[in-house]
Amino acid sequence: MPYLGVLGRDTLKINARALCRSVRLSRTRAPPIYDRVIEIESMDQILKLQWAKPRGGGLKIGVNADRRRAVMQHSQLSDGRDPFDRRAFCKAAVATAVGAVEASLGSVLAHADLTKEQRDKMTADEIIQQMKAGNERFRSGKPQHRDLMREAKATAKGQYPAAIVFGCVDSRAPAELILDFGIGDIFSGRVAGNVADEDILGSMEFACKVTGSKVVLVMGHTACGAIKGAIDGVQLGNLTTLLAKIRPAIEATHYTGERSAKNYTFVDAVARKNVSLTIASIREKSPVLRDLESSGSIKIAGSMYNLETGIVEFLA
């Protein structure tokens, strides 16, 4: 597999001419110091790269057959010698650029600051695939490198999030991190025990009907304190009313073992049931979302996040 050395800016601004120009520049000026040298497994992967801001402007990119050669090529460039066939390099670079531009939109979400056009081209299923891929990156300890301030600036004038994730307030279950999304990629709603009231439904309607998000993902999690509190019948201020909304899930959970908050298997079974009841209540209480779903414009899906394994399991 080829390796790609990169010093550049936004992927989507890459074009073949810029690549060839960068080759010429790299021979006559100071050699590029690549921010990263990355093995390319597929053209899709190019879109997943996080591009650093150019130093002194321009885009510099190098493609070679292996990492060792890429590094050698880099050092030889500093001698002013041409260590490789420039025409072949240009050809490879152009092919890479075309591949990047034509690559499946399935990987666009992995790249921050989604444009409206990119988001609108994606189907709900593709967005869910990207959630799974993001969780995989999170679990493997290889999340996208992100320049968050750059993402903040790029999205300051508009947002086109692909989805709204509705989860628990639990500090260990932040949707953006565990699904590896950047600023502007998703809406994130959180309430203890992920029970949806009308304000949350209104937020989901805003996300999908007004701004065009295509997925509503309800995310429960293991060892949820709110679920445990509901099982124990905790009474405390406004929490009492909130936990009462989880009671139907407890009652609807078929479980023959010990039905207590100390039994985590039971707690997780209730959390799972609670996700499905939340989805049912979204469909029941929001005609707006129900219509969007039945017309195929959006998907409403459920998931469970496992605190110990980091796995987000998508429920059927």
With contacts defined by CB under 5 A, name the span among 36-44, 217-225, 235-243, 278-286 that binds Zn ion.
217-225
Toward Zn ion, which CB reaches closer, 6 or 219?
219
Q: Is 44 in the site for Zn ion (CB under 5 A)?
A: no
Residue-level length of the chain: 316
CB of 309 to Zn ion, least distance (A): 16
CB of 254 to Zn ion, least distance (A): 22
CB of 199 to Zn ion, least distance (A): 18
CB of 78 to Zn ion, least distance (A): 54
CB of 253 to Zn ion, least distance (A): 16
Residues in region 142-171 near Zn ion by CB under 5 A? 168, 170
Query: One symbol per residue from 177 to 216: x for binding Zn ion (CB under 5 A), - otherwise; what is it?
Result: ----------------------------------------
With contacts defined by CB under 5 A, name the span among 6-14, 209-217, 219-227, 234-242 that binds Zn ion.
219-227
CB of 310 to Zn ion, least distance (A): 16
Q: Binder to Zn ion among 105, 200, 224, 300 (CB under 5 A)?
A: 224
**Binding residue count for Zn ion, defined by CB under 5 A:** 4
Q: Which residues sit at the interface with Zn ion, rule CB under 5 A?
A: 168, 170, 224, 226
